[in-house]
Chains A and B, each alone.
Chain A
Amino acid sequence: MPDAPRICPAEEHAARLRAHALRDGVEVLAGRGGRPALRIDGAFYHSQYNPEQEALRLIESHAPAPGAPVLIFGLGLGHHVRALIDAGHPVLVIEPSEDIAAAGLGNGVARAGFMLCVGAFDAGDAAAKAFLARKPTLIAHPVAARLFPEAHAAVEHAIAGAALAGQRFNIAVVGPMYGGSAPIAEYLVNGFRKLGHNAILVDNTAAWPMYEQLTRSVKDAHASGQLGQMQTNVLSEWTYARVAEFKPEICIVLAQAPVAASFPARMAKLGCITAFWYVENWRHMRYWDNVAPTYDAFFHIQPGEFEDKLNAIGCRHHAFVQTACDPDLHGAVELSAEEAEEFDCDISFAGAGYFNRLQLFKGLTDYRFKIWGVDWRERELAPLVVGGERRFDSAIFMKIIAGSRINLNLHSSNAHEGVDPRCDAINPRVFEIAAAGGFQVCDPCIGLDQHFDFATELPVYHDLKELRALIEYYLAHPEERRAMAAAARARVLREHTYAHRAQQMLDHLVAWHGPRILAHGVRTQRTVAETIALLPEDSVLRSYLETLPGELLFNQEAINAVLRPPMGGLSRPEQLFNYMREVRHFTEMLLGSRR
């Protein structure tokens, strides 16, 4: 006989459970005044004195909107279920225990007419999905939550996931003063924005020149270190102030960002979920164990061994999130004649001169080889460095790629003479070159085969001999080179953009911390187009909003940015938005919160 459906009208469950024998400890007794009372293992499920009033208090404490659907966890004798139905709420009741369901249904509550799930709640069930899509309020009976904590947590997560689906979040991304993760912070912000979220970059790069000046102008290492730390402390406070003012639901901190150890705890007090993205090679940079357990989530770029290490230090919520490309910044560029002369070469490398690169690339100097970046002081390579030792931005990088027939990639190591066979930290350059339509050859970093097909998208080498063979072959076969570059580009645009990474992060964060995000509340962020859809056809506000870009977020800052200043001939909505701008400014001044 097939299992009865878990979710069905309560009366069907009542019929099914009519002959159910209650386990020991589950009793329905005659309570005070003769009314039935449910006792579970010696403790009463409801008030013996006034269970109806108790039910009303429970409902009031959750304050569901009038007529809003309610997901009830815990049936008991159903006093709260009846009260909600009487108040006009559509309900779905989850009762994890067949014994309690049988006791409750045996008491006639099923006649109230509602849908009931008995046993484990499957959020993927079609009926469950349909109900969750209505974004119900969750009311958990406290006794049920105490008796079945895991089931309760699962329901909380399911309801949070449903409620947050399609939600536009406010997200702050904190960048470092300097280094490779600085542009990644910017790319990630773009990724979130592409997904429609309201994201800001908390940029600390302006502090880098001062930091360098502070730490380099003092020879005493101790004093220099102290000064650097003092500036970092100031930056941490600055960062906190900026993030707190933005009031995000989620704050993502990039590796090397100048935030104090107390930062995640302080953000938690504001109801903000924090995540750290460790875009570092954990084998080279060892501060991860201080950071990982203190954040609500820890993202990293190296699966495998590192994940075991994270588990070992008690980091509960961690996930592998690879770097990627930002198609807005990483794309093919046309070179001018002058630029073509500067950037044209057979092979190129753009990046820092780590030990293994210095050693390997010495074997390539017989090609038309150009290098950009710093730390290329080896006698054989220094003459190949274009423009001398200097850093370059992504715009220059795109030109380098455009001018190179073959772009070299070699993951850094200071312990190997060439390819590091244990390397599992894929560098962002892989994705950026591919997005720019460049052809690259790369060492086979562990995990790289998960992202690219080596035969059709990204050829790899294990040593100098293989590398030279690849160079020879692909210099001689430009069509194949172009085909592979095109395939790699299509792949990264399909799978490896920062928007993909941003979505990955959000999926994890909602799965892990959805109930917390939901409990704190998410500020609604609609676009102008979405807001227009909410307004009546004849609304003057609607007419005004139709003159603005549809993708613009409908919040005061964004509207102010496009608002015409006070002048004659403004429409009524423009007048009112100008008025609101003044009210905000004046009240902040009055409250002393703005100088």
Chain B
Amino acid sequence: MSLRILILQTTRMGDVLQTTPLIRQVRQQHPHAHISVMVRGMGKAIVEHCPDVDAVLVHEEDTLFQHLRAQDSDRLLQAYAVAEEHVQRIAEGHFDVVYNVTHSIGSAMLLKIAGVREVVGAHLSDDWQFVLRGAWTTYFFTSVFNRDYNDLNLCDITRNFAPVGPPCKSLVFDLRDEDRAWATTLLEQHGVGDSDFVACLQLGASENNKRWTELRFAELARLLVERKAARVFLVGVKEEAALGGLFERHAPGLAIPLYGKSSVPQLAALLARSSILVTNDTGTMHIAAAVQCPIALVSVGHVHYRETGPYGEGHCAVEARRQSLGRSDFVPGGLEERDAITAEQVYIAVELALAARHGEAPAQRSVDAAIANVDFYTTRFAPDGCLQFYPAVRRPMGERDLLRMAYRAMWIEHLNARRDPEAESETLAAMLSHFAVDDTTFVQAWAEAHAVAFAELAEIALRGEAITRGLVAALASGGSMVAARRQVDELTAIDEEARIFAEVNPACRALTLIARYERDNLEGSDPRALASTTLQIYGACRTRAALVAEKLARIVSLLPRQP
């Protein structure tokens, strides 16, 4: 009897697409397994076009939510029945293993209630505490603490829940003939020839602060028409049609609105034929990435494109320069950033994406007045096997760039639990080659200062380990509870010391926050087991801190020698 596997992904459509590399790797690991995927209704079309999936389960969480939100006794009874059905469906699936890539306690509860025995990802312990097992799983759930320095795409993180030999380096979405035919007919109806440049624009976004303005999109459309004789289509769901109306006011008759006129597979077929998609951070972006349509991502607002940007090579992200180079988590102002990036600048991003289409590094630009306020990054896979956003403008390296490189090298080694000095050197060197490092004074000074801080954090964690080791021994020997309590108090003091230290040295904060999260989600209630896990957490924190210090030194060693 074949292994029965469920992959649970009940967030948005884009997240479902970002899970397809994991599904592929699970299939590679278990070629004969029966793989089911549970998604919300909006993700159904995605997994139906994923050849690795045997069965699609639609999770009617929206129905449940509507019942709950109605604040009505009858509807609550209906909600209860729906919740029971959810549990029943999973229980009846008799899954041997479930990969849970949904960031929610509810999803973990669902699996717990259904009695699933093996869960990779978020799950609940027997005492119903939210717990995580596995290095990559923990990283996935704690990446929010690491946003300042996270350099790994979500796809690279989640596909490593099921590591295989040759990794899957693309989103998976198989186009069907009927969808291609729809796109062909559509383009014919609008007189678009085979050699015409087709530009799709996605004006919407999940939040207003993540949306480049429709005026700017209209300006860009003019440039594309003037310079590339582009045929422009506005894509999106029907609720975004109002944005198309605003666009039309700024650029009457320039674009063909397709709001709500296509299914997801039809949109994918259109994008597969398109020369470029210009978009905010949206589900459409992931569809385009899945069908290898070059993407110019206009990153504004609270967007973490390194984490959620297009997975695949040859795409370009443009964002307004912030306090630190490439920092995407900090928006100093409000919505004004939405207007700060000009159409000319996004046009450059389009050119960069087109140039990078064939996986070759486009020639880096020098800084000039026209692009002084923005940064461009193009995507390629790094020698370490994960996607990388390389700077497309040659600028001096910033402190945050340095730390991000060191963190990435640390995580790759720590999460894979193996050293690969060759790939690491190549990865670091490739990134360094994109920066102007004629004067390395600053970089060396930052590296030295941070290495000291990380070494100090490692030392604090080491003390934590020593105390915990004593606690483990005391509990194992049935020693005095008074002594054990004293050791717990000492650990509390160590944690507080680490917290304060990280406040003073913010570069270390991600590590202390992750350690605290791990401590907060310990599994089980047996004091000895808890103490052993705590020991591992202090050990992991020490290892990570020491590794970051080591990687900083490694980066410095790879810097060109000063004359």
Q: Are A568 and B73 in contact (CB under 8 A)?
A: no
Q: Is the C-beta of A548 less than 8 angstroms from some C-beta in chain B?
A: no
Shortest Cβ distance from residue B172 to the other chain A in the assembled complex, whole angstroms? 24
Closest chain B residue to A559, Cβ basis: B76
> Which residues of B are found within 8 Å of A554, using beta-carbon distances?
73, 76-77
Any B CB within 8 A of the CB of A511: no
User: Provided the pairs A525-B73, A555-B72, A575-B113 are in contact, do residues A566 and B80 lie with their beta carbons within 8 angstroms?
Assistant: no
- Chain A nearest CB, measured from B319 CB (Å): 22
Q: A554-B73, A583-B64, A587-B65 are in contact. Are A568 and B109 (CB under 8 A)?
A: no
Q: Which residues of B contact A480 (CB under 8 A)?
A: none
Interface string of B61-91 (1 = CB under 8 A from A): 1101100111111111101100110110000
Given the known A-B contacts A576-B80, A576-B84, A576-B113, are A586 and B106 also in contact in the complex, defined by CB atoms under 8 Å?
A: yes
Most buried by A among B12, B70, B76, B128: B76
Known: A567-B128, A570-B128, A587-B62. A525 touches B109 (CB 8 A): no
Q: A568-B126, A576-B113, A592-B207 are in contact. Are A587 and B76 (CB under 8 A)?
A: no
Known interface pairs A555-B76, A556-B76. Does A247 touch B113 (Cβ–Cβ under 8 Å)? no
- Determine whether the beta carbon of B127 is less than 8 Å from that of A567: yes
Tell me if A576 and B87 are in contact (CB < 8 A): yes
B104 at the interface (CB under 8 A from A): yes
Asked whether any CB of chain A lies closer than 8 Å to the CB of B535, the reply is no
A525 touches B72 (CB 8 A): yes
B79 lies within 8 A of A553 (CB): no
- Give bound CA distance, A566 to B62, whole Å: 23
Query: Nearest CB to that of B83 among chain A residues?
Result: A576
From B70, B77, B106, B127, name the one whose CB has the most chain A CB atoms within 10 angstroms. Answer: B106
Q: Which residues of A contact B87 (CB under 8 A)?
A: 576, 579
Q: Is the CB of B76 within 8 A of A583?
A: no
Closest to B62 in A: A587
Chain A proximity of B56: nearest CB distance (Å): 20
Q: What residues of B have a CB within 8 angstroms of the CB of A592 in the complex?
A: 206-207
Write the nearest CB–CB distance from A573 to chain B, whole angstroms.
8
DSSP class of A's interface residues: helix, strand, loop or mixed? Answer: helix
Residues of A within 8 A of B514 (CB): none
B105 is an interface residue with CB less than 8 A from chain A: yes
Q: Is A531's CB under 8 angstroms from B77's CB?
A: yes
Nearest CB on B from A571, distance (A): 11
Q: Is B11 an interface residue (CB 8 A)?
A: yes
Roughly how many angstroms separate A443 CA and B409 CA in the complex, as a whole number?
88
A554 to B61, CA, bound (A): 21
Residue of B nearest to A522 (CB): B72
Say if the beta carbon of B555 comes within 8 Å of chain A: no
B119 is an interface residue with CB less than 8 A from chain A: no
Nearest chain B CB to A124 CB, angstrom units? 30
| Residues 548-587 of A at the B interface (beta carbon under 8 Å) | 553-557, 559, 566-568, 570, 572-573, 575-580, 582-587
Q: Is B293 an interface residue (CB 8 A)?
A: no
Please determine whether B12 and A590 come into contact, CB atoms closer than 8 angstroms. yes
| Distance to closest chain A CB from B542 (angstroms) | 32
Partner of A566, one of B11, B73, B86, B109: B109
Contacts of A504 in B (CB 8 A): none
Instruction: Give Cα A559–Cα B79 distance, bound, in whole angstroms.
Output: 13
What's the Cα separation between A69 and B69 when bound, in Å?
Answer: 30
- Report whether A582 and B106 are in contact in the complex, using a CB–CB cutoff of 8 Å: yes
Q: How far is the CA of A11 from the CA of B79 in the complex (A)?
A: 47
Assembly CA distance A170 to B73 (angstroms): 12
- Nearest chain A CB to B510 CB, angstrom units: 22
Enumerate chain B residues within 8 angstroms of A576, measured Cβ to Cβ. 80, 83-84, 87, 113
A541 and B80 form a contact (CB under 8 A)? yes
- The list of the 10 closest CB pairs from A to B, nearest first, reads A582-B106, A526-B73, A566-B128, A523-B72, A586-B104, A587-B65, A568-B127, A579-B109, A554-B73, A524-B74
- For this complex, 26 residue pairs linking A to B, each with C-beta atoms less than 8 Å apart, are A523-B72, A523-B75, A524-B72, A524-B73, A524-B75, A525-B72, A525-B73, A541-B80, A554-B76, A556-B68, A556-B71, A556-B79, A557-B71, A567-B128, A570-B128, A576-B113, A579-B83, A579-B86, A580-B83, A583-B61, A583-B64, A583-B65, A583-B83, A586-B104, A590-B11, A592-B206
